[in-house]
Chains A and B, each alone.
Chain A
């Protein structure tokens, strides 16, 4: 029961399906990094700007990710504007990307950067394990939710493309 307009809109969406995913992924990654900086560094002062136990690799990794997330937020939003301009925005897939990007960065930050490279702890308290667990479980939940949305939109695209080939 798709109208002519819906059909053409879907065709644009499918043509730019990976750009929807990338735009969401970059924006999600940038968003969670921005949230981390504003809430945990500036407002709560839980995270430290520099922790004496930071390894050299941690300093480099943190610098690269900070710069990349800054770029990704803006780049992701310009890609979003580009998709809207092309009438190719596919919000479900875009949100899948956002959740995946946000979760992936948070998990990397919470395991490798906080624990392995020791750039800083989530909070300087005795029972930091609870904070670490909460942090990483939220990260995994976002990755799973994002992956579900991405797989489902991919299935839908494959199904509809199969139908349109039959016609």
Chain B
């Protein structure tokens, strides 16, 4: 009981510190910047080339809002004391936001509006060996799902609630690992290092299984100081919420296979069948 009191006390101080107007503004700044830069870039691109599609603006705006909601505002504050709120945050920051942002095709937009030299530089980085390793489905899945296993099965979760720097670092990792995972599976932006469909499908299934197994593990072995009732709702949310977002990811992956394998020349088809 004493320990619990102590921890709640610590959380109280922490919320008080992050609740001030200045820290909130500081935390919101990267999101505002990302929003403004994307919209400006899209407007510039539309004036030079073809109109930048409206749905991409929508994906970006919703993606940024989802990510921002987990760092600033009421949900973010509640996440310190309520594991269910934390899990809603995880679904938004670690699953929905990356998917929406990938669908907004930010790299395509960047390559369009940068001048030739910078664009070449960016595309050299995309083609480089480290990016190839990082964007391999297996590496990206390990960083993404493996990171979550470390977070929820060690003391990292408790430490994160008491240390603001660790807290920010974990959130940054969750977001970027998940973004990397999404770009390793579906190809919206220019992707120099492509892997074949079956490979991606197998790794995706294993990664999803890792996520589902972790949810059930949390259901019975919650991180220390998380009450069992909150752990159960949080775990159910992670399991079924994860399924809902994975459904979209699987659908896009299969749709890209469907488009890639479309029958091309009718001549070669009829030859192969008649021979």
Contact = CB atoms under 8 A, between A and B. Distances in A.
Interface residues of B, number: 31
Interface stretch (A68-76, A90-98, A146-154, A155-163): A68-76
**Chain A interface secondary structure, helix, strand, loop or mixed?**
helix
B220 interface: yes
B243 A70 contact: yes
B216 interface: yes
B236 interface: yes
A78 B258 contact: yes
Interface size, A (range): 20 to 34
A141 interface: no
Contacts of A59: 213, 216-217
Contacts of B206: 64, 67
Contact of A71 (B213, B250, B258, B262): B250
B216 A74 contact: no
Interface in A29-77: 49-50, 52, 59-60, 62-64, 66-68, 70-71, 74-75
Interface of A: 8, 11-12, 15, 49-50, 52, 59-60, 62-64, 66-68, 70-71, 74-75, 78, 81-82, 85-86
Interface of B: 201, 204-206, 208-210, 212-213, 216-217, 219-220, 236, 239, 243, 246-247, 250-251, 254-255, 257-258, 261-263, 269, 272-274
The 3 closest A-B pairs by CB, nearest first: A63-B213, A67-B208, A67-B209
